[in-house]
Amino acid sequence: MYDVKPVDFILEKANQEQDISEAEGVTLLQQTNPDLITAIQETADHLRKKQVGDTVTYVINRNINFTNICEQHCSFCAFRRDAGETGAFWLNTDEILAKTKDAVAQGATEICMQGGLNPEAKLQGKSLNYYQQLVRTIKNQFPQLHLHAFSPQEIEFIAREDDISYEEVILTLQETGVGSMPGTAAEILDDSVRKIICPEKLNTATWLEIVGMAHRLGMNTTSTMLSGHIETPQQQIQHLGKLRSLQQQAIANNYPARISEFIILPFVGEEAPKPLRNRVGRDQPVLADTLLLTAVARIFLGNWIPNHQPSWVKLGLAGATEALNWGCNDIGGTLMEEHITTMAGAKGGTCMSVADLQNAIASIQRPYQQRNTLYQKISDHSSSQMKFPGVSVRLP
């Protein structure tokens, strides 16, 4: 027997534009009745349309992982290497510029740049000087590009290596040319889980502190969740609750920046270290689980974080396209190359053309629109409203 009334009550509350509680979010995540899951999906899709409209956005970007040499040993990561190990790399200036030039030739407006925590970076001077050098390498030749770069973990690493404050790191990188911060390294914002899957990483409080500080200093961030490993539904919702509170704090304090989007990153374990892979018991994400979490995230976060994006790298383009019916309004970026998830065994590929993304969006009869990193409309590469009669386009 399924207690239908609580789910109906929660969904009606959401449809009235009220925030649901964490306990109510857990109730939604625990549903297994197909009819109730359909009701959750339909509510999420309805809220998506109400909050951001029918247009699906995308960004033309390139992902540059400048090194996979890393001091940490996260249990889900197949990307990291030790210096001198087979497969280790550390890009030089010419290689970074060549990748950037190619991205610009393909119409990119954004470079997303992250890498391992390479202890050798401090040989370039102080760590902060090395990261500034990475930014200048790109911005000096391509000032028009938006640099979406350096996660909270990288900020913590620089501050620790150079014995300076997080604020000094963020301000210096911002002045050098970083435009926004990826909200990665969040994994699950629960220290009992982090002690198992990423014990060397910054803790929950530090992640929240750095992201909140970025907002106060005028640097927008994204937000993410690594899902589908050892975390519980309760921990998933608590993670969403922390993100919602962080956004509410930025708005209440009138900070100049915000969380611009939320992305679910389902665990891919095919090539991940064996202890966690064996504990999870599967190699690829379960699409149904990811879709339900996607819908609940829209219901829980949508009043505060309106832009939601699936990961086509992890889910494949077909799975990511299906997520557009479960509360997502953005299909992500072209990426042009992707190493971290692909090295873990993901099957989604490393690059999408603009046509790939547009055709995926058009396949579900939704209009598409190119955007920049901060979800501002770019006039090129949009589908005509007339292409889908009756669709009212409202851009985020």
The residue type of 216 is: R
Q: Which position has the higher pLDDT, 351 or 113?
A: 113
Q: Is residue 317 part of a domain?
A: yes
CB atoms within 10 A of CB 22: 15
Question: What does the pLDDT read at residue 269?
Answer: 56
- pLDDT of 396 strictly over 80: no
pLDDT for position 383:
65
pLDDT for 99 equals 95
Nearest 10 degrees: Cα torsion 211, 74, 312, 156: 20
- How many Å apart are CA 371 and CA 292, to the nearest integer? 26
Residue 318: both structure tokens together: 């077909």
The sign of the torsion formed by the CA atoms of 172, 175, 177, 182 equals positive
The answer on pLDDT for 343 being more than 70 is no
Output the pLDDT for position 337.
Answer: 73
Give the side-chain half-sphere CA count within 13 A for 244. Answer: 19
Cβ contact 152:169 at 8 Å: no
Predicted pLDDT at 127: 86
CA 118 to chain centre: 22
CA-angle at 35, arms to 34 and 37, nearest 5°: 60
Q: What percent of the chain has pLDDT over 90?
A: 74
Task: Indicate which CATH number applies to the domain containing 332.
Answer: 3.20.20.70
- Judged against a pLDDT cut of 50, whether residue 29 lies above it is answered with yes
pLDDT of residue 349: 55
Express each pLDDT in 124-167 by its tens digit.
668 889 999 999 999 999 999 999 999 999 999 999 999 999 99
pLDDT band at 321 (very low <50, low <70, confident <90, very high): very high
Cα–Cα dist 196/166, whole Å: 25
Residue 372 makes CB contacts below 8 A (sequence gap 6+) with: 59, 109, 110, 146, 378
Contact 250, 296 (CB under 8 A): no
Q: What is the mean pLDDT of residues 195-207?
A: 95
Residue 177 forms part of a structural domain: yes
| Residue 16 maps to a domain | no
How high does pLDDT run on average in the chain? 88
Continuous segment of H or E residues that includes residue 184: none
Higher-confidence residue of 115 and 282: namely 115
Q: Is residue 45 part of a domain?
A: no
Q: What is the pLDDT of residue 338?
A: 53
Domain membership flag for residue 219: yes
Average pLDDT over residues 226-235: 95
Total domains, the chain = 1
Token reading at 156: 């913590």
Measured from the Cβ of residue 42, the count of other Cβ atoms closer than 10 Å reads: 14
Distance CA 133, CA 140 (A): 10
Give me the phi and psi of 320, to 5 degrees please. -65, -40
Q: What's the maximum distance between 2 C-alpha atoms anywhere in the chain? A: 65
With beta carbons less than 8 A apart as the criterion, state whether 226 and 267 touch: yes
How much is the pLDDT for 386?
29
Nearest alpha carbon to residue 306 among 379, 395, 236, 378: 395
**Which range (10-24, 256-270, 364-378) has the least confidence?**
256-270
Q: Which residue has the tokens 């990423």?
A: 198
Residue 168 has pLDDT above 70, yes or no: yes
Per-residue pLDDT of 250-297, as tens digits, reads 999 999 999 999 999 998 855 555 455 556 655 577 899 999 999 999
DSSP letters spanning 376-395: -EEEEEE--GGGSTT-----
In a domain, 4, yes or no: no
Which residues, in sequence order, are bridge partners of residue 181?
A: 221
- Please check whether residue 173 lies inside any domain of the structure: yes
- Residue 306 lies in domain: 54-387
Specify the higher pLDDT residue, 271 or 190: 190
Q: What are phi and psi of 352, to 5 degrees?
A: -125, 135
The answer, yes or no, to whether residue 326 has pLDDT greater than 50, is yes
Pairing label, strands 377-382, 368-371: antiparallel
For the stretch 59-81, pLDDT in tens is 999 999 998 888 877 776 777 78
Q: Note whether residue 343 is domain-resident.
A: yes
Other CB atoms within a 10 A radius of the CB of residue 376 amount to 11
Tokens of 316: 């494949």
Lowest mean pLDDT among 48-52, 358-362, 381-385: 381-385
